[in-house]
Amino acid sequence: MSALNGDDRKARFVCATTLAHNGRAVAVLSDSAEGLIATAPQGSGGFGYDPVFFFPQLGRTYAEITREEKNQYSHRGRAFRKAIAFLEGRLP
């Protein structure tokens, strides 16, 4: 990746979750987060790819944002909020 710049460093992370009842899928919900692979790790929070996943919307890597920000913007947080909305009857 060291030779890549700009759009060649784009990254997308996707979370998909399935809700099932009696072994049968009743909903498949997903969301994604788009960003860039940083040229060097930054930050000390999070795990895995967090230090190299730069999130342009906040101008920081996932390892540099707060837990609350990550829950708000991450692909996992958004997908699971959809699952909660489905369970609460707010999604078809």
Q: How far apart are the first and last CA of the chain?
A: 41
Residues 9-17, mean pLDDT to the nearest whole number: 97
Domain 6-87 class? alpha beta
Report whether 46 contacts 55 (CB < 8 A). no
- Average pLDDT taken over every residue of the chain: 95
pLDDT at 2 exceeding the cut of 90: no
Residue whose C-alpha is closest to residue 53's, from 69, 32, 33: 33
- With a cut of 90, say whether residue 18 has pLDDT above it: yes
Mean pLDDT of 24-45: 96
**Quick check: 31 pLDDT over 80?**
yes
Confidence of residue 46 (pLDDT cuts 50, 70, 90): confident
pTM for the full model? 0.85
Cβ atoms of residues 92 and 85 within 8 Å: no
Contact 16, 79 (CB under 8 A): yes
